[in-house]
Structure 1
Amino acid sequence: MDNAISTRPEPLWRRHDFRLLLGGRLVSQLGDSLQFLALPLLVIALTGSSTQAGVLLGLQTVVYLVFGLLAGALVDRWDRKATMIWCEIGRGALTSTIPVAAVFGALGMPQLYAVAVLNGVLSTLFGAANSSALPNIVPSSDLPAAVGLLGAMSNALRVLGAAAAGTAYAVSRMLPFAFNVVSFLVSAASLRAIRTDFQQARVAAPGPPSALVTEVGRGLAWLWHKPVIRTLAVLDAADGLRFGAGYLLIIILAQELHANSTQVGAVFASAGVGALLGSLMGPRLARRFPLGALSITMLWAEALTFPFYAVAPTWWLLSLVAFAESVVSPVYNVALESYRLAVTPDALRGRVTSAVETLTTGGAAIGTTASGTLIALLGTTMLTLMLTGWLALLALAATLSKTVRRARAAD
């Protein structure tokens, strides 16, 4: 009995490095939540154009389409910890230019576009290193619990951030951006204090650009021969189109219901509450149900819920729809991310992670970039119905796929 107790794994909450990783990530995500809602409101206030708001939101992530694969190979070469620290410092410096320019009355769309693109580059590098590091900080047996806890805490801050973003923006348009600058620096300091190595080994020596392309090819080849990860990544990318378009769509729907900025924030806070509930249930359900069943359930739940956005008569009923739609996805994400991290070799993890995120984030970027134009051309009701049909097609494709139906969690 004594031996069993002495060899029992240490709880996640007692792991020094995991607490630092969690704390830094949450502070940074709180800042991102404030800024992500404030940015389209700022663009609409400056230009009156939902199209420009959609383009700017898309630019923050469209970089994944042209840089994501190379970023994965680079973080497998570079020190992941140092890369993450410098990315946070860089993002803080770039974001600080927005309130500084506003103070001097020089803020304009060219600067916002430039900041979005450069922040996208740094976010791409940071994301690839961040996702790859977790299996080196916690043992593989704790991955579902760690992914679920990170998701739960992240969504708890998503609730707080969405609720506070509208209020902060109402107090001062620049307050969300100033807070985000501080959050990046806190995150960098937290990462600096972590003692654990973020990777087992790196690619031996940087070579010419052709060698980097070869390294990317090795990661893609590994991914191609893993049909479960490959198929689910394609489905997630297609779902990302709807997610990207849906973000600005929900903002405009709320404004059409005469919601003020605080009430718009409350709509997204409700979505955060639903996601928080799903994240808390995620580790247990991910162990109990097959990965494929969770994927199919998520897509059908989204397809059946999404049309209610078009008929909600008040902003608070819109909040209920956002809550209901957001519960299932985090459960699936816990199962999928734990599976992918567990089966991917550490030396390839940056490349595989970035390849998957290039698809999913790129899909979201396309949807976000097109959303403003689609709203202007079709109107909010028609776009909501079109996205509902798209989700139904994805759910049907997942249901008919043998690869998805047979997908199980990693041992």
Structure 2
Amino acid sequence: MDNPISTPPVPLWRQHDFRLLLGGRLVSQLGDSLQFLALPLLVVALTGSPTQAGLLLGLQTVVYLVFGLVAGALVDRWNRRTTMIWCEIGRGSLTATVPVAAMSGVLGMPQLYAVALLNGVLSTLFGAANGSALPNIVPVRDLAAALGTVGAFSSGLRIVGSAVAGVAYAAGRMLPFAVNAVSFLASAAFLRAIRTDFEQVRPAAPGSPRTLVTDIGRGLAWLWHRPVIRTLALLDAADSLRFGAGYLLIVMLAQGLHASPTQTALVFTGAGVGALLGSLLAPALTRRFPLGSLSITMLWAEALAFPFYALAPTWWLLLVVAFTESVVSPVYNVALDSHRLAVTPDALRGRVTSAIDTLTTGGAAIGTIASGALIARLGTTTLTFMLAGWLAFLALAATLSRTVRTARV
């Protein structure tokens, strides 16, 4: 009897649908990078109020915290690719209203708040669907490589995007918004060209709000009864507190070293380069080491690196610390996300993904909100060591947890 001929695995870069998914994401992210800088500058130009700029930027986070769980349940009920395409078309259309209104001389803050709110809802839906679809686009064996590739390109684009954003805004105040609107439509075209289904089985649409609440509860119950994913998700959310507080803290530490705005920006560029390196290393490390060992090692590495932010005597050494510390997170995130996506049933993936993202987003938001008051009250040095202590506590908790120590991808 003849032996069946096994089909050799197709390298990730030769997988047509993954290339399209990655291309659409990068095009959209480039547009977002341009608008992220342009939006607060536009608000300050219209109102002269940095407070209103901060409120507008924070609105999307608030929307995610309020709507995230609902979005996860909805994308588990809907066709994910169709949902993502219409979200991109909607976001592109909403964003296009900003330059149109500006050219008509009627642009004002009510419109910008409405656009930010509606875009926040669509972005939350898109993110839940996008995070759930990847295991249906690439084989399970390629999940870590796919996540690392996406992370590497995103980090690289974030580095380039910051520089391009300033040039685009200087060329024309509405240019970043126009480019972003086009990028959403281009992303929709990429998604439309993907041949693979984004879900295995699509259930019927929800019949009532009560049914939706039941669906959310089922997703949370499944997550709660998976000790490895639950424990690591809680540790990640607690780590996000430090991440949220870190941005303003590093800015103030750089100012304390008399760094210029350009030098401060270079510190964050160093962090971006570190994240890029971590994303490139993550797939190989995920294949070689158990999930628990990676998680514990990464948390201790963060805890040991963080105090050096307060000890750095010059801005360029601050850059070195930012680079070193930023290598860690992508490795941990790729290992955790590839494990979670591989073991979560497809029908629950949107709800589980949105629940974890809501936890981490909430942690980062709390850290961001509290950072200003903590710096004013404690000072940058004391807060740096407090956050380092918090990271050491999390690393110790992970080390003592049998669930984490024995976790494997």
Same fold (TM over 0.5): yes
Residues 151 and 276 in structure 2, CA contact (< 8 A), matched pair in contact too: yes
Q: Distance in 1 between matches of 2:160 and 2:34?
A: 9
For residues 376 and 108 of structure 1, do their structure 2 counterparts lie closer, same or farther at Cα, with a shift above 3 Å needed? farther
Matches of residues 163-312 of structure 1 in structure 2 within 5 Å? 163-172=163-172, 174-254=174-254, 257-260=258-261, 262-312=262-312
Say if 1:166 and 1:265, in contact at 8 Å, map to a contact too: no
Which stretch has the larger CA shift, 306-315 or 82-91?
Answer: 306-315
Moved over 6 A (4+): 3-6, 44-50
The CA deviation at 1:338 is: 0.8
**Aligned-partner residue type, residue 96 of structure 1:** A
What is the CA–CA distance in structure 2 between the aligned matches of 1:177 and 1:377, rounded to whole Å? 38
Structure 1: which amino acid aligns with 2:11? P
1:259-294 CA-partner distances (Å, limit 9, x unpaired):
33x544433322121111111111110011111221
Decide whether the 8 Å contact of 2:78 with 2:205 is kept in 1.
no
CA 1:275/1:402 → structure 2, altered by over 3 Å: closer, same or farther? same
Instruction: Determine whether 1:129 maps to 2:129.
Output: yes
CA contact (8 A) 1:57 1:369 kept: no
Percent identity over the alignment is: 79
Q: Which residue in 2 is equivalent to 1:93? A: 93
Q: How does 1:8-407 map to 2 (within 5 A)?
A: 8-39=8-39, 54-100=54-100, 111-172=111-172, 174-254=174-254, 257-260=258-261, 262-375=262-375, 378-407=378-407
**Closer/same/farther in 2, CA of residues 240 and 53 from structure 1, 3 Å limit:** farther
Q: Which moved more, 1:15-24 or 1:4-13?
A: 4-13
Does 328-337 or 309-318 show the bigger shift? 309-318
Shift of the alpha carbon at 1:37?
4.4
Distance 1:290 1:241 in 2: 25
Closer/same/farther in 2, CA of residues 351 and 30 from structure 1, 3 Å limit: same
> Residue 199 of structure 1 aligns to which amino acid in structure 2?
E
CA RMSD of aligned residues (A): 2.9
Structure 2 unmatched runs, 5+: none
Moved more, 232-241 or 85-94: 85-94
TM-score normalised per structure 1: 0.88
SS, match of residue 196 in structure 2:
coil
Query: Which digits, 9 at most, give the CA deviation of each residue in 1:151-179, with x for residues without a partner?
Result: 22222212222343344445555444443
CA contact (8 A) 1:219 1:351 kept: yes
- Which secondary structure does the structure 2 equivalent of 1:65 belong to? helix
- Does the 8 A contact of 1:20 with 1:194 survive in 2? yes
Cα deviation for residue 138 of structure 1 reads 1.0
Partners of 1:320 and 1:142 lie apart in 2 by: 32
Amino acid at match of 1:17: D
Distance 1:295 1:318, change over 3 A: same
Which stretch has the larger CA shift, 312-321 or 68-77? Answer: 312-321
1:43-91 CA distance string (max 9 Å, x none):
6677777665554433222222221111111001111001111112222
Higher Rg:
2
Number of residue pairs aligned between Structure 1 and Structure 2? 407
Q: Provide the C-alpha distance between the structure 2 equivalents of 1:310 and 1:93, rounded to a whole number of angstroms.
A: 45
* 8 Å Cα contact 1:34/1:161 also seen in 2: yes
Choose between structure 1 and 2 for higher RCO, CA contacts under 8 A separated by at least 6 residues. 1
Distance 1:45 1:205, change over 3 A: closer
Shift of 1:230: 0.5
TM-score calculated relative to the size of structure 2 = 0.89
In the alignment, the residues of structure 1 paired with residue 48 and residue 379 of structure 2 have an alpha-carbon distance, to the nearest angstrom, of 16
Per-residue deviation at 1:390?
A: 2.5
